[in-house]
């Protein structure tokens, strides 16, 4: 059994909160700090604040015991061997990451730092941030021998964040000192030794005692770049398959067959080759822009990333053109929209391509009835109900008397619709699917005109039969 280590996590957002409860699950003693008193009070009372599998369970298990919540960063600093900075790094107007929260935390840590600590960058930050953090601490009077700054990027996905943390593909530790590397290796030892996976009642996942996750030790700068490069590469993969899907549409080929054929090459792999309406969320758009900004600042031509962004943005406009191609004029058309979240299984609407498409369609003069299983409330805050937009109670209500039904988020319940009911509810049996949730030939059998991404358009079987007579 590994030794429990006292850890502070600064920031109780997505990454911070998940890291805090997962470190507790691994056996460590954690203090989670946030400067928002209301948030701290809510967490102390057991409210998870975000919609995430296993989070309520772990918070219930460790709250006010192995995980304490506080606003006092000084106390947390003094009590911990390692301080993980997991505060927001929002996109600035210029596209680069705004690191002012990270700087503020570093300056505050400096005030309470009297014995050796490892300061860990957990937020996604550009290369050289570790040096800025060191400089901020030194400028605030901390002796250089009293700390090391380490980069330990997080690769968690929304919806499966707890599982991703405890069953990672890899743990990346960027440390330029052996002493700091040892602290981080000890923190992750319950996972890397496989001990955690032997325990009863653990969070299930891919790792096991015989196949524990590897810990990759790198320089601090390499680790910072690994995070940005990984997200940018995944975004590139999505934009690539979206561009291929456009080619398939132009040639009447089927992108799913193409993606399968590509993905079977083990050098390419099958994941992140799902075409759609473009990537969104709190990470990919921000991280691609930040990585591009880093390259620009260093005088490196990485215009490939500009193309990735361009394809992503065009994909939404192409979807609107597809709606037009099915309905002729858009002005005055009534549309049912299924999905507002940036992907299924989350209530997050940050940079959601679904919402961008709703805005574009409203600007074209359509009226919309939208439904999302979890994201409606958040969407109402940015797109309030008006005479052109209403929020439906379910998918069938959204389809009611609509000229077409649009699928914009890959929720499982949208893949399991009662198609007979949908067909009866719609004014015309037209479905335009931005997530390829259905098999085109089955849709044609069910009496729909069905347009999807990168696959041939199909029409109702009986229409084809009658037109052939």
Interaction site with ligand UDX (CB under 6 A): 154-158, 231, 234, 238, 272-274, 276, 279-281, 283-284, 342-343
Instruction: Give me the least distance between CB of 158 and ligand UDX, in Å please.
Output: 4
Q: How far, CA to CA in Å, does 119 sit from each of 77, 187, 190, 297, 366?
A: 10, 13, 20, 26, 52
Q: Does 207 participate in catalysis according to the annotation? A: no
Instruction: Give me the least distance between CB of 127 and ligand UDX, in Å please.
Output: 17
Instruction: Give me the least distance between CB of 358 and ligand UDX, in Å please.
Output: 15
Instruction: Give me the least distance between CB of 461 and ligand UDX, in Å please.
Output: 30
Task: Closer to ligand UDX by CB, 140 or 160: give it.
Answer: 160
CB-count burial class (<10 Å; 0-12, 13-18, 19+) for 454: buried
Q: What is the DSSP string of 5-37?
A: -EEEEE--SHHHHHHHHHHHHTT-EEEEE-S-H
Instruction: Give me the least distance between CB of 277 and ligand UDX, in Å please.
Output: 7
Instruction: Give me the least distance between CB of 251 and ligand UDX, in Å please.
Output: 21
Task: Closer to ligand UDX by CB, 238 or 294: give it.
Answer: 238
Q: Is the dihedral of CA 193, 199, 204, 210 positive or negative?
A: positive
Task: Closer to ligand UDX by CB, 113 or 289: give it.
Answer: 289
Task: Closer to ligand UDX by CB, 20 or 156: give it.
Answer: 156
Task: Closer to ligand UDX by CB, 41 or 304: give it.
Answer: 304
As a whole number of angstroms, the distance between CA 80 and CA 9 comes to 10
Tokens for 257? 């067959």
As a whole number of angstroms, the distance between CA 256 and CA 278 comes to 16
Q: How far, CA to CA in Å, does 297 sit from each of 95, 96, 231, 294, 351?
A: 12, 10, 19, 5, 25
As a whole number of angstroms, the distance between CA 167 and CA 206 comes to 6
Tokens for 8? 């502070």
Selecting among 22, 32, 248, 283, the annotated active-site residue is 283
Task: Closer to ligand UDX by CB, 147 or 371: give it.
Answer: 371
Torsion, Cα 130 135 140 141, to 10 degrees, reads: 110
Task: Closer to ligand UDX by CB, 80 or 231: give it.
Answer: 231
Nearest to 19 by CA among 161, 160, 117: 161
Instruction: Give me the least distance between CB of 242 and ligand UDX, in Å please.
Output: 8
Do the Cβ atoms of 357 and 418 come closer than 8 Å?
Answer: no
Q: What is the DSSP string of 372-422?
A: -TTTHHHHHHHS--BTTEEE-SSHHHHHTT-SEEEE-S--HHHHT--HHHH
Torsion, Cα 460 339 275 458, to 10 degrees, reads: 0
Do the Cβ atoms of 101 and 130 come closer than 8 Å?
Answer: no
Task: Closer to ligand UDX by CB, 341 or 402: give it.
Answer: 341
Instruction: Give me the least distance between CB of 196 and ligand UDX, in Å please.
Output: 21
Tokens for 14? 């997505």
Q: For residue 290, what is the DSSP state?
A: H
Give the active site residues: 283
């Amino acid at each position: 059994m590994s030794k429990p280590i006292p850890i502070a996590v600064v920031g109780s957002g997505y990454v911070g909160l998940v890291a805090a409860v997962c470190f507790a699950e691994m056996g460590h003693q954690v203090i989670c700090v946030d400067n928002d008193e209301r948030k701290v009070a809510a967490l102390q009372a057991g409210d998870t604040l975000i919609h995430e599998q296993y989070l309520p369970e772990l918070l219930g298990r460790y709250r006010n015991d192995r995980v304490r919540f506080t606003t006092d960063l000084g106390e947390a600093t003094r009590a911990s061997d390692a301080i993980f900075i997991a505060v927001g790094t929002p996109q600035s107007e210029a596209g680069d990451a705004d690191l002012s929260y990270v700087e503020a935390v570093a300056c505050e840590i400096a005030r309470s730092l009297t014995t050796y600590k490892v300061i860990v960058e957990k937020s996604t930050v550009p290369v050289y941030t570790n040096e800025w953090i060191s400089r901020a601490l030194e400028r605030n009077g901390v002796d250089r021998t009293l700390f090391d700054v380490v980069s330990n990027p997080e690769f968690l996905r929304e919806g499966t964040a707890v599982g991703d943390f405890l069953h990672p593909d890899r743990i990346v530790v960027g440390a330029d000192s052996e002493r700091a590397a040892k602290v981080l290796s000890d923190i992750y030892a319950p996972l890397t030794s496989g001990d955690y996976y032997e325990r009863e009642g653990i969070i299930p996942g891919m790792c096991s005692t015989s196949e524990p996750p590897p810990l990759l030790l790198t320089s601090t700068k390499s680790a910072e770049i690994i995070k940005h490069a990984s997200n940018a590469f995944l975004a590139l993969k999505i934009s690539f398959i979206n561009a291929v899907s456009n080619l398939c549409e132009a040639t009447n080929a089927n992108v799913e067959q193409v993606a399968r054929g590509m993905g079977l090459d083990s050098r390419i792999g099958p994941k992140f080759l799902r075409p759609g309406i473009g990537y969104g969320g709190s990470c990919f758009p921000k991280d691609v822009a930040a990585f591009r900004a880093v390259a620009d600042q260093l005088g490196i031509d990485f215009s490939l990333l500009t193309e990735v962004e361009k394809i992503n943005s065009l994909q939404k406009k192409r979807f609107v053109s597809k709606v037009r191609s099915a309905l002729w004029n858009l002005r005055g058309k009534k549309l049912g929209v299924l999905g507002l979240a940036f992907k299924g299984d989350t209530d997050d609407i940050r940079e959601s391509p679904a919402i961008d498409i709703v805005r574009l369609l409203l600007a074209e003069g359509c009226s919309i009835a939208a439904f999302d299983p979890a994201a409606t409330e958040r969407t109402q805050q940015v797109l309030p109900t008006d005479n052109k937009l209403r929020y439906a109670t379910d998918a069938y209500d959204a389809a009611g008397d609509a000229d077409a039904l649009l699928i914009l988020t890959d929720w499982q319940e949208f893949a399991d619709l009662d198609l007979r009911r949908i067909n009866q509810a719609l004014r015309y049996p037209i479905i335009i699917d931005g997530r390829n949730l259905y098999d085109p030939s089955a849709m044609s059998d069910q009496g729909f005109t069905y347009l999807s991404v990168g696959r041939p358009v199909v029409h109702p079987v009986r229409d084809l039969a009658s037109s052939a007579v």
